[in-house]
Structure 1
Amino acid sequence: MEKLFGLFGHPVTHSMSPMMHNDAFQQLGIDASYKLFDVKPEFLKDAVLGIRALNIVGCNITIPHKVAVMDFLDEIDDEAKEIGAVNTIVNLDGKLIGYNTDGRGYLESLVPVLTKRLTEQRVLVLGAGGAARAIVTVLAREGAQEVIVANRTLSKAKDLATLTNHDIIATTIEEAATELNQFDIIINTTSVGMSPNIEDIPVSLDKLKADCVVSDLIYNPIRTKLLIEADKRGAKILDGVGMFVNQGALSFEYWTGQKPNRERMAQLVYQKLGGTLC
């Protein structure tokens, strides 16, 4: 009998997760399909109950449900608890267990482009939303020398900093821009620069140092204005496809116990977006 998996979010029609996961099922000979479920916030509890009723084996959770869904699960693993959000649900014989693969997925995309250990890096994270929290948490847990969260609204940056169990510094994006040459890694977790607003940039790069790693979680467009300008200044750039693929692959492993071909996943995404690896 075909196993059912899916994505809960609102909206979800733009998602490339079905393409990626259904191909992986086919490649590994797994009789399964991955569907999109557009779930409005007021129906989230009912949708989660439906996981058991419909025997959905596993789900991804995306905006705007990653925090709210935690109230309806039977168990949440420690990493997801620390992050304060869930992006993956495993249905284990009717017991719904929540995980978060965003932080580890991002880290696995970042480490290969680093020229020195994370413990020697000062990291600036732009934005204070759910993605920022996952990334800040994993970077701090892995021993980054310093993690600074910058947001246009300082109070939101402070909220994120205090919600973690680590020593995180909060500042404004404007203040961070004046000290940009102090950072080894800059990570944009905001939506600034996402299609159709492709000429927008989240922070001025006037003081960017040439050997910096500049990373953008956005993958549509693949090369955002931030990455284009950073590349011109000699920085090493990292697009958002790696995190998208890795977090999905980690979810796939939780659901099936099998490892999908991540290179193939990435190739499918790049082909769909009409671009190439940074």
Structure 2
Amino acid sequence: MIKACVIGWPISHSRSPIIHGYWLQQHGISGSYTRQPVEPSSLEAFMSGLGNKGYAGCNVTIPHKEAVFNLVSRADDTTERLGAVNTVYIRDGQLLGTNTDGEGFINSLKQGAPELQLANTRTVVLGAGGASVAVVNAILEQGATEVVVANRTREKAEQLRARFGTRVVPIDWDRAPDHLGDCSLLVNTTSLGMRGQPELGIDLSRLGERTVVTDIVYTPLRTRLLEDAAARGNIVVEGLGMLLHQAVRGFSLWFGVTPEVTPELRELVVRDINPVPMT
């Protein structure tokens, strides 16, 4: 039986077992995918013994993505550039790390807004934290002319420019509405709007009518940002798609089958996010 897992601290919130469990069943694969709580002080020992525990690999979530980057061999240039790993697999006894967050983001956009073209266009990204790094890199790889990054601490936005070059344009947080008129895509990479967090509260009155709006937050499925944009007639892409699509390559690396993100899988995860109350 092929085994994989997701590690984090804490890890009980992860919905990855739902996703991979669905694919294992769908493809009739004898395998398992479980949550493994790993505290930071135990991380190095867990990773060095991953193969001995019988795992083909693992997903990595908060707070371990940067630490695992330093414990594995980087599998590709994109991962090297991002400085963070979310997927680990074993080849010839060697731990290899890669990052599928960016491709998950792009493939979610392609599914939710197939007419969107990022090449030779401008994007506005809200937030410059860890989640924004993969998103900004992915947008640049699609050929965007400019990625405007608004962050409350401007220094962090400046760090993205230093990492990725002059196509990244850092701005102060309160200037973001000034840049919405001619962008092809608006992305929220902050936790604002998530359940239990304050609302994002951005003024969309200058948002271009053809601008696609997306949010990496998926609890709730539609944040206030997405609701407000949809009410204006803009195409919106929910954050759940990124979670589903980023899982595809890891499953392929461990279990040897490339799965599909289907409406049935989405509905399965939606039911976990919004369980139907017992009557």
Is residue 128 of structure 1 aligned with residue 128 of structure 2? yes
| Counterpart position of 1:231 | 230
| Counterpart position of 1:23 | 22
Kept in 1: contact 2:116–2:212 (CA 8 A): no
Q: Which has the higher helix share?
A: 1
| Counterpart position of 2:157 | 157
Amino acid at match of 2:266: A
Partner SS, residue 52 of structure 1: coil
* Deviation sequence 1:73-102 (CA, Å, 0-9, x none): 134321111222111000224210001111
% same residue: 37
Is residue 14 of structure 1 aligned with residue 25 of structure 2? no
Bigger Cα displacement from structure 2, 10-19 vs 113-122: 113-122
Kept in 1: contact 2:145–2:167 (CA 8 A): no
CA, structure 1 residues 116+14, in 2 after alignment: closer, same or farther (shift >3 Å)?
A: closer
Kept in 2: contact 1:190–1:202 (CA 8 A): no
Partner SS, residue 119 of structure 2: helix
Quote the offset at 1:118 in angstroms.
Answer: 1.5
Quote the offset at 1:165 in angstroms.
Answer: 5.1
Partner SS, residue 103 of structure 1: helix
- Distance in 1 of aligned mates of 2:269 and 2:222: 14
| Counterpart position of 2:199 | 200
Amino acid at match of 2:22: D
1:109-258 counterparts in 2 under 5 A? 109-112=108-111, 113-164=113-164, 167-197=167-197, 200-201=199-200, 203-258=202-257
Quote the offset at 1:50 in angstroms.
Answer: 2.5
Bigger Cα displacement from structure 2, 153-162 vs 168-177: 168-177
- Distance in 1 of aligned mates of 2:50 and 2:81: 24
- Distance in 1 of aligned mates of 2:2 and 2:102: 27
Bigger Cα displacement from structure 2, 108-117 vs 85-94: 108-117
CA, structure 1 residues 151+51, in 2 after alignment: closer, same or farther (shift >3 Å)?
A: same
Bigger Cα displacement from structure 2, 216-225 vs 259-268: 259-268
CA, structure 1 residues 75+140, in 2 after alignment: closer, same or farther (shift >3 Å)?
A: closer
Kept in 1: contact 2:105–2:135 (CA 8 A): yes
Kept in 1: contact 2:74–2:98 (CA 8 A): no
Amino acid at match of 1:43: S
- Distance in 1 of aligned mates of 2:176 and 2:87: 33
* Deviation sequence 1:147-196 (CA, Å, 0-9, x none): 11111100001112211256211112211123322322100111101112
Gaps (5+ residues) in structure 1? none
Bigger Cα displacement from structure 2, 215-224 vs 71-80: 71-80
Kept in 1: contact 2:123–2:184 (CA 8 A): yes
- Distance in 2 of aligned mates of 1:165 and 1:48: 33
1:45-124 counterparts in 2 under 5 A? 45-112=44-111, 113-124=113-124
- Distance in 2 of aligned mates of 1:169 and 1:84: 21
- Distance in 2 of aligned mates of 1:136 and 1:241: 18
Amino acid at match of 2:145: Q
Bigger Cα displacement from structure 2, 263-272 vs 86-95: 263-272
CA, structure 1 residues 202+15, in 2 after alignment: closer, same or farther (shift >3 Å)?
A: farther
Quote the offset at 1:205 in angstroms.
Answer: 1.9
TM-score, scaled relative to structure 1 = 0.92
Partner SS, residue 51 of structure 1: coil
- Distance in 2 of aligned mates of 1:206 and 1:166: 28
Aligned length: 273
- Distance in 2 of aligned mates of 1:61 and 1:52: 15
Kept in 1: contact 2:154–2:171 (CA 8 A): yes
Partner SS, residue 65 of structure 2: coil
Amino acid at match of 2:242: M
- Distance in 2 of aligned mates of 1:271 and 1:261: 19
Query: What is the Cα-based RMSD across aligned positions, in Å?
Result: 1.8
- Distance in 1 of aligned mates of 2:28 and 2:34: 18
